[in-house]
């Protein structure tokens, strides 16, 4: 073999080895992660920013290749296109997988509220997207069921809890067309409800933790344990609803507030029975009470302290956005070290200038920019993470952001 061909052959072999090793220095190309915060039914803005981030094509299909798209929750409530947003997310998941990419849709506090029947931020416009030609008939039948239940409860409870006393006009106003369908669709057996109950509250990729609000950094509860607690609490609420319906204490479409009224009413009634018996010096007669339901009711009425709804719980905490950096520095450094993380990315709190904010040198990224403009006067955005490079993506361009320091630097803080 001539020297010329020997040299060419050696060069080809070296290039092949370089390719097989993943490039220069044996490193594979950095994974691309795109993160989007609160959507709140702003479908058009969501589609636009996904296209700007090159993870969605003009036809509304996955175009991100092997990239990972993370959505950190709060796609429900307030905006009218909640159903369209959920349909898009559900459609993109298998498309991303087929392209060897990923879509990780997380739960925010608003998804959890809807799943457990807290509907205070669901608008009539959202309910209307779930209505169909049979909605008026369903609503009439549901009202008749409500009246029947109220009459039955009146025969065994005096005084009757307010949950059973709504007049027709008030009940109809509280249940606009599409309300029943929405409640069913997000229930345990509904199309959206089943999907939502399979969503996680966190994702960790290459040392970055993604959550909607994030745990208080001073908590010592491991992230996997937080996941398990949220999942268990949702299942617990579902079981309690089912028990109330089975006991003919509630109807399947009751809200969380109505469920709590039922629970509190039963607790008051059994306490009154016990007090009356004690006054007479007699043994209380608990006939007509289901003691297991009462036990669960006593626990469910404390739901405001659970992870699902606690003000400083992992779905509601606002300290990463609101607390001064000086007070955050030590607990965030300890939190990252304890969980072997480089940074945490959260949404939940719309930023004042409607831009993605980097705090603590890139250890904390705040990505809620008020996408639902009609409510927050904000704009859509996405955070792109490629190795150590962080970039904010807006409809009018890209802005580089500070990257998080290495973990050993965090440890020295």
Please indicate, yes or no, whether residues 62 and 208 belong to a single structural domain of this protein: yes
Q: Tens of pLDDT along 96-147?
A: 999 999 999 999 999 999 999 999 999 999 999 999 999 999 999 999 999 9
Answer yes or no: are the C-beta atoms of 122 and 182 closer than 8 Å. yes
Q: Strand, helix or coil at 133?
A: coil
In a domain, 320, yes or no: no
In eight-state DSSP terms, residue 64 is -
Please indicate, yes or no, whether residues 44 and 112 belong to a single structural domain of this protein: yes
Q: Strand, helix or coil at 175?
A: coil
Please indicate, yes or no, whether residues 302 and 404 belong to a single structural domain of this protein: no
What pTM did the predictor assign? 0.90
Answer yes or no: are the C-beta atoms of 263 and 247 closer than 8 Å. no
Please indicate, yes or no, whether residues 350 and 240 belong to a single structural domain of this protein: no
Q: Strand, helix or coil at 81?
A: coil
CATH code, domain carrying 105: 3.60.21.10
Please indicate, yes or no, whether residues 254 and 394 belong to a single structural domain of this protein: no
In a domain, 2, yes or no: no
**Residue 402's pLDDT is what?**
87
Please indicate, yes or no, whether residues 206 and 262 belong to a single structural domain of this protein: no
Name residues whose C-beta falls within 8 Å of residue 230's C-beta, 6 or more positions apart in sequence: 107, 112, 201, 307, 308, 314, 315
Residue ranges making up the domain that contains 403 = 30-124+202-214+343-413
What is the full DSSP assignment across 203-225?
Answer: EEETTEEEESS---TT----HHH
Mean pLDDT taken over the chain: 92
Please indicate, yes or no, whether residues 295 and 232 belong to a single structural domain of this protein: yes
Over the Cα atoms of the chain, what is R_g? 26
In Å, how far are 51, 206, 351, 364, 401 from 361, measured between CA atoms?
29, 18, 17, 8, 9
CB-based burial label for 406 (10 Å; 0-12, 13-18, 19+): exposed
Please indicate, yes or no, whether residues 383 and 291 belong to a single structural domain of this protein: no
Residue with tokens 């997988």: 97
Please indicate, yes or no, whether residues 115 and 48 belong to a single structural domain of this protein: yes
Burial of 11-26, coded b for 16+ CB within 10 Å and e otherwise, reads eeeeeeeeeeeeeeee
Please indicate, yes or no, whether residues 279 and 207 belong to a single structural domain of this protein: no
Low-confidence ranges of the chain (pLDDT < 70): 1-28, 404-413
Q: Strand, helix or coil at 129?
A: coil
**Residue 410's pLDDT is what?**
39
Answer yes or no: are the C-beta atoms of 320 and 346 closer than 8 Å. yes
**Residue 23's pLDDT is what?**
39
Q: Which two tokens stand for residue 303?
A: 């739901």
Q: Tens of pLDDT along 350-377?
A: 999 999 999 999 999 999 999 999 999 9
Q: Strand, helix or coil at 164?
A: helix
In a domain, 328, yes or no: no
Main-chain dihedrals φ then ψ at residue 158, nearest 5 degrees? -145, 115
**Residue 130's pLDDT is what?**
98
What span, in angstroms and rounded, lies between the C-alpha atoms of 115 and 194?
A: 10
Name residues whose C-beta falls within 8 Å of residue 159's C-beta, 6 or more positions apart in sequence: none
Name residues whose C-beta falls within 8 Å of residue 10's C-beta, 6 or more positions apart in sequence: none
In a domain, 268, yes or no: yes
Please indicate, yes or no, whether residues 307 and 353 belong to a single structural domain of this protein: no
The span from the first CA to the last CA of the chain, in angstroms, equals: 61
In a domain, 135, yes or no: no
Q: Strand, helix or coil at 69?
A: strand
In a domain, 291, yes or no: yes
Q: Name which of 73, 173, 187 is nearest 130 in CA terms.
A: 187
**Residue 27's pLDDT is what?**
54
**Residue 403's pLDDT is what?**
79
Answer yes or no: are the C-beta atoms of 368 and 348 closer than 8 Å. yes
Q: How many residues does the chain have?
A: 413
Please indicate, yes or no, whether residues 66 and 50 belong to a single structural domain of this protein: yes
Q: Which two tokens stand for residue 102?
A: 């990923």
In a domain, 225, yes or no: yes
Cα dihedral 65/67/72/73 (nearest 10): 10
In a domain, 405, yes or no: yes
Alpha helices in 155-290 (DSSP H): 168-174, 179-185, 191-196, 223-246, 256-280
**Residue 244's pLDDT is what?**
97
In Å, how far are 1, 195, 259, 305 from 239, measured between CA atoms?
78, 18, 12, 18
What span, in angstroms and rounded, lies between the C-alpha atoms of 50 and 52?
A: 5
Asked which of 314, 335, 360 is the last residue of a domain, the reply is 314
The total of structural domains in the chain comes to 2
């Amino acid at each position: 073999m001539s020297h010329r061909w020997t040299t060419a052959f050696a060069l080809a072999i070296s290039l092949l080895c370089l390719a097989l090793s993943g490039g220069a220095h044996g490193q594979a190309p950095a994974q691309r992660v795109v993160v989007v915060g609160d959507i709140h039914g702003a479908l058009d803005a969501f589609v636009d920013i996904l296209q700007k981030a090159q993870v969605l094509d003009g036809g509304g299909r996955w175009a991100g290749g092997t990239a990972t798209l993370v959505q950190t929750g709060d796609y429900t409530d307030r905006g009218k296109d909640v159903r369209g947003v959920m349909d898009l997310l559900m459609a993109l998941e298998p498309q991303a997988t087929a392209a060897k990419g990923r879509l990780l849709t997380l739960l925010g506090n608003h998804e959890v509220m809807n799943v457990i029947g807290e509907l205070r931020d669901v608008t009539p416009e959202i309910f209307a997207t779930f209505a169909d030609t049979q909605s008026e008939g369903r609503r009439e039948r549901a009202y008749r069921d409500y009246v029947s239940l109220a009459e039955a409860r009146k025969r065994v409870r005096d005084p009757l809890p307010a949950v059973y006393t709504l007049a027709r006009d008030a009940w109809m106003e509280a249940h606009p067309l599409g309300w029943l369908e929405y409640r069913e669709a997000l229930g345990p057996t509904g199309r959206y409800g089943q999907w939502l109950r399979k969503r996680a509250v966190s994702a960790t990729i290459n040392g970055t933790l993604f959550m909607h609000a994030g745990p208080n950094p001073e908590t010592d509860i491991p992230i996997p344990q937080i996941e398990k607690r949220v999942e268990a609490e949702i299942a617990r609420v579902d079981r309690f609803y089912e028990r109330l319906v089975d006991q003919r204490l509630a109807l399947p479409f009751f809200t969380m507030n109505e469920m709590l009224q039922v629970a509190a009413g039963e607790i008051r009634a059994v306490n009154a029975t016990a007090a009356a018996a004690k006054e007479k010096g007699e043994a209380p007669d608990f006939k007509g009470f289901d003691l297991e339901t009462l036990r669960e009711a006593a626990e469910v009425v404390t739901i405001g302290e659970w992870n699902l709804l606690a003000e400083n719980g992992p779905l509601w905490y606002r300290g990463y956005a609101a607390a001064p950096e000086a007070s955050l520095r030590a607990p965030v450094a300890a939190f990252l070290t304890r969980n072997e993380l480089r940074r945490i990315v959260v949404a939940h709190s719309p930023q004042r200038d409607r831009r993605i904010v980097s705090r603590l040198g890139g250890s904390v990224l705040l990505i809620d920019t008020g996408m639902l403009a009609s409510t927050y006067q904000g704009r859509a955005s996405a955070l792109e993470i490629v190795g150590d490079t962080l970039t904010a993506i807006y409809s009018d361009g890209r802005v580089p952001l500070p990257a998080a320091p290495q973990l050993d630097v965090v440890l020295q803080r």
